[in-house]
Amino acid sequence: MRITDINSIIEGFDALPLEEKEYAAGLIRKAYAEAAREAMAARAKTASRNLRSRKVKKGGVKDLLKDLEG
C-alpha cells in the first residue's frame, strides 16, 4: 500500500463523527485479528509439513544440547 493511500484513509477516518470512528476502529481490529489468525494457521501448517517431512526435530533441551555437542 502506498503512503498516499494510507494518508487518505487516515484523513477520511479523522473526518468521521465519533460513533463512526468507533465502529470503523472495531472493524479494523476484527480484520487485523482475522489476518493474524490466518497467518498463524499458515505458519502452523508449514511447521506440521516440515515435521512430517523430517526437516525439523522435536524434543527437549537435553535433545538440543546433545545435537549441538554431536
CA distances from 65 to 40, 58, 68 (A): 28, 13, 5
Cα–Cα distance between 25 and 31 in angstroms, integer? 10
pLDDT digits (tens, 9 = 90+) for 28-44: 999 999 999 999 999 99
Cα–Cα distance between 51 and 30 in angstroms, integer? 31
CA distances from 8 to 2, 11, 12, 70 (A): 10, 5, 6, 57
- Total domains in the fold of the chain: 1
Residue type, 14: D
Q: What is the pLDDT of residue 58?
A: 85
pTM here? 0.67
57's CB contacts (< 8 A; 6+ apart) are 63, 67
Range of the domain at 23: 3-69
